[in-house]
Chains A and B, each alone.
Chain A
Amino acid sequence: MPADAVASARAADTGDAGAGDAGARGWLQRHLSKLVVAPSFAAALIFFYGFILWTVIISLTGSRMLPSYEIVGFENYVNIWRLSRWETAVENLFLFGVLFMGLSMALGCLLAVLLDQRIRAEGALRTIYLYPMAISYIVTGTAWKWLLDPGIGLEKAMHDLGWTGFAFNWINDPDMAIYTIVLAAVWQASGFVMAMVLAALRGVDDEIIKAAWLDGASLANIYRRIIIPTIRPVFLSAFVILMHLAIKTFDLVMALTAAGPGTATSVPATFMYDMAFQRDRLDFAATSAVMMLATVAAIIVPYLYSEIRSGKRG
């Protein structure tokens, strides 16, 4: 390690007289970075990993209104699947997650590529597409609720304009309501994906693209063979961010449909909230939290691992 070698050489240069002092300073120099991050590391250890551990323990107990520490084993993990509400929530999460991530990515990339064509007023357009991300999910949910409400929103506007056959009542249809959440979430997040991808596109070396042009490659081929592989790390970042947005989706659902009609748009986060704060079932709440964490880990860990490995090799 060259850096260490330099440091120790410098320490040796100071000679015997200041050895103790230099040793302390050297120690400080070597460990300063660790000392600086120690408080936040300790906080993360306690408040993040510590409470994950606590939640796992609670999920193994029969806690109801107050936490208790009588272990009942994996009973909760079996029983939770007998709750129709949990089943709905898990199905919805997968449906929502796949559609939300897929559509946001696709739409975001498309917008970025289109904006990358050196068009006029790019700055203004970029801001317009990015702005939804600056709005809180509660606002998004409430605004879309009004838009989608057949009594006051889009359907009524169309009827008032004379198109009386128009019907768009997904939000009141238990089978379709989950797609209204996808719609609002994609509207919110795709501009963000666009901004990330656009920034990455601008970072691609112009020389390579020019070289490809000279070699007669088509635009589609340039994107497919050169640009997209170059900006791959950005997809990982976007993917990670979108996925955690999908799994923790709570406020959007509460504002848009309040998990209804009935329980049709329940997601694991609303399930957990209900169990912990409305039903005095801390055991089921903790169990669902652990299962959400496990789901994230199951997807993220292998992906991160492969990305890091291929990153090192490259």
Chain B
Amino acid sequence: MHRATTGRTLGLAVGLATALAGTGAQAQTAEVLHYWTSGGEARAVAALQEEFEAAGGTWVDAPVAGGGGDAQATVLRSRVLAGDPPTAVQIKGPNIHDWAAEGVLANLDAVAAEAGWDDILPPLLRDIVTYDDQYVAVPVNIHRVNWLWINPEVLAEVGAEVPTTWDEFNATADALLEAGITPLAHGGQPWQDATVFETVVLGLGGPDFYRQALVELDADALTSDTMIAVFDQMRRITGYVDPNFPGRDWNLATGMVMNGEAAMQIMGDWAKGEFAASELTPDEDYLCVPTPGTSGFVLNSDSFAFFEVEGDDRVAGQDLLAGLILGESFQETFNLFKGSIPARTDLDRSAFDACAVRSMEDLDSAVAEGSLVPSMAHEIAIGRAPRGAFLDVVTQHFNSDMSSQEAVELLLEEVELAM
């Protein structure tokens, strides 16, 4: 790495920080571009900043609020094109590979070898943060997507057990409908429709079918009878949500489960934060169980990608930051704030609640039996363009009277266009 190329346009803040940090021999600077600006997420990222500064680094915070990362993506794009990438950027899934393919990501193999990342990361997660067998990003956490959140009192009203297959789910839901209770709390936003969709795919098709259809985008799998059955189940689910579902935010749907307006919700484990905020206890006030028919684990993970930067202090800052993110203390603090589980599988579990511990155990067994799959709805399995195609079709099907046959045909067409 060499310093000072002409014509580089550093932001004032970065320049200042570099100048200040440049006075020490072991200066470490990191400019971190992220979109964790609200509530628990902001607290979680502040914890990282504290640790980084305690270790002697200079942290330049670059939060970009809004759009679930869309606004950040625009900032990132323009900064990379201008030749001034930030040190670390919160991006995830195949998007990491897209940037790596542009040749702008740094190599973190030295840090990884020292900390033994190969041994502590689940294999699927390792594939996500490496490109050409080199570490280019660091995972922060693991979210499980295929959770079913249940209000046990409401379920007891109709004398139903926790559903473990989609048939049982349908029977329970029909009983709830008869009792005048909304079976499923749901928000009609494309990503929420897709979240339900992928848990149905895993539940009805199993992990191998899930991978063929939602990861490899295999045309035969997309138009198979199993996929038609998936859309049939989605059609049944449209009957189990209340008429007011369009546009509802996911946390409002969680609220419906909490106050007994609805019995169940299908949502990732960030929903736990809502229950925790109302001081409810898992396994007593609410249940967290895998969605019907799934022993598998649908993985969502946030990560930081590290861009190729110039200047010794920034490279040193990068190494320090990468080490800290997967360090034991940050992994615990952060994930307790965020409701997810640590990205490394070797941590002490005593600080975590029952749902998180169940998630960790299921992750271990999913890795062992090969049923760990990446989330399509949350941009882990496939790139943003094919994901968009799935979202379009799933949400159109959910909000119209389109037949399952039409849906799979449209799906194939749109997915092919998005490739």
Q: Which residues of A pack against B, CB within 8 Å?
A: 64-67, 79, 82-85, 145, 149-151, 169, 171-172, 174, 257-258, 260-264, 274, 277-281
The reply to whether the CB of B6 lies closer than 8 angstroms to some CB of chain A is no
Q: Which of A83, A151, A260 contacts B399 (CB 8 A)?
A: A260
Instruction: State whether A280 and B244 are in contact (beta carbons under 8 Å apart), knowing that A66-B81, A174-B399, A260-B188 are contacts in the complex.
Output: no
Number of residues from B at the complex interface, CB < 8 A: 38
CA–CA, A12 and B74, complex, Å: 60
Chain B contact residues, majority secondary structure: helix
Shortest C-beta distance, A67 to chain B (Å), equals 8
Find out whether the CB atom of A84 lies under 8 angstroms from the CB atom of B410.
yes
CA–CA, A260 and B188, complex, Å: 8
Q: Which residues of B pack against A, CB within 8 Å?
A: 67, 70-71, 73-74, 77, 80-81, 95, 98-99, 102, 188-190, 193, 243-247, 383-385, 387-388, 392-393, 395-396, 398-400, 410, 413-414, 417-418
Across-interface contacts of B98 in A (CB, < 8 A): 64-65, 280
Find out whether the CB atom of B385 lies under 8 angstroms from the CB atom of A280.
yes
Instruction: State whether A172 and B396 are in contact (beta carbons under 8 Å apart), knowing that A258-B189, A280-B384 are contacts in the complex.
Output: no
Find out whether the CB atom of B384 lies under 8 angstroms from the CB atom of A262.
no
Closest to A279 in B: B388
Q: Which of A149, A263, A281 contacts B385 (CB 8 A)?
A: A281
Across-interface contacts of A85 in B (CB, < 8 A): 392
Across-interface contacts of A274 in B (CB, < 8 A): 388
Q: List 16 A-B contacts (CB under 8 A).
A: A66-B81, A84-B392, A84-B393, A84-B396, A151-B244, A172-B245, A174-B399, A257-B246, A260-B188, A260-B246, A262-B396, A263-B395, A263-B396, A279-B418, A280-B95, A280-B98
Chain A contact residues, majority secondary structure: loop
Find out whether the CB atom of B67 lies under 8 angstroms from the CB atom of A262.
no
Across-interface contacts of B387 in A (CB, < 8 A): 279
Find out whether the CB atom of A261 lies under 8 angstroms from the CB atom of B244.
no
Shortest C-beta distance, A312 to chain B (Å), equals 45
Across-interface contacts of A261 in B (CB, < 8 A): 188, 246-247, 399
Q: Which of A84, A145, A278 contacts B70 (CB 8 A)?
A: A278
Closest to B388 in A: A279
Closest to A145 in B: B247
Q: Which of B67, B243, B384 contacts A279 (CB 8 A)?
A: B384
Find out whether the CB atom of B247 lies under 8 angstroms from the CB atom of A64.
no
Find out whether the CB atom of A82 lies under 8 angstroms from the CB atom of B392.
no
Closest to B400 in A: A174
CA–CA, A169 and B188, complex, Å: 15
Shortest C-beta distance, B173 to chain A (Å), equals 20
Find out whether the CB atom of A82 lies under 8 angstroms from the CB atom of B383.
no
Find out whether the CB atom of B413 lies under 8 angstroms from the CB atom of A82.
yes
Find out whether the CB atom of A277 lies under 8 angstroms from the CB atom of B244.
no
Closest to B383 in A: A280
Across-interface contacts of A281 in B (CB, < 8 A): 385, 388, 418
The 9 closest A-B pairs by CB, nearest first: A262-B399, A261-B246, A279-B388, A261-B399, A277-B70, A262-B395, A151-B244, A172-B246, A280-B384
Across-interface contacts of B398 in A (CB, < 8 A): 262
Closest to B392 in A: A85
Find out whether the CB atom of A149 lies under 8 angstroms from the CB atom of B244.
yes
Instruction: State whether A79 and B392 are in contact (beta carbons under 8 Å apart), knowing that A151-B244, A172-B244 are contacts in the complex.
Output: no
CA–CA, A91 and B188, complex, Å: 22
Across-interface contacts of A82 in B (CB, < 8 A): 413, 417
Across-interface contacts of A279 in B (CB, < 8 A): 384-385, 387-388, 418
Shortest C-beta distance, B402 to chain A (Å), equals 10
Find out whether the CB atom of A263 lies under 8 angstroms from the CB atom of B388.
no
**Which residue among A149, A151, A260 has the maximum number of chain B CB atoms within 10 Å of its CB?**
A260
CA–CA, A257 and B248, complex, Å: 10
Find out whether the CB atom of B243 lies under 8 angstroms from the CB atom of A150.
yes
CA–CA, A82 and B413, complex, Å: 8
Find out whether the CB atom of A258 lies under 8 angstroms from the CB atom of B413.
no
Q: Which of B95, B102, B247, B383 contacts A260 (CB 8 A)?
A: B247
**Which residue among A85, A151, A171, A257 has the maximum number of chain B CB atoms within 10 Å of its CB?**
A85
Instruction: State whether A172 and B385 are in contact (beta carbons under 8 Å apart), knowing that A262-B396, A263-B395, A277-B67 are contacts in the complex.
Output: no
Across-interface contacts of B189 in A (CB, < 8 A): 258, 260
Shortest C-beta distance, A64 to chain B (Å), equals 7
Query: Given A172-B246, A279-B418, 5 more contacts at CB 8 Å?
Result: A66-B81, A260-B190, A261-B188, A262-B399, A281-B418
Closest to A281 in B: B385
Q: Which of B74, B245, B247, B417 contacts A83 (CB 8 A)?
A: B417
Across-interface contacts of A145 in B (CB, < 8 A): 247
CA–CA, A155 and B201, complex, Å: 37
CA–CA, A67 and B78, complex, Å: 11
Across-interface contacts of B417 in A (CB, < 8 A): 79, 82-83
**Which residue among A169, A172, A258, A278 has the maximum number of chain B CB atoms within 10 Å of its CB?**
A278
Shortest C-beta distance, B388 to chain A (Å), equals 4
CA–CA, A280 and B74, complex, Å: 10
CA–CA, A150 and B244, complex, Å: 7
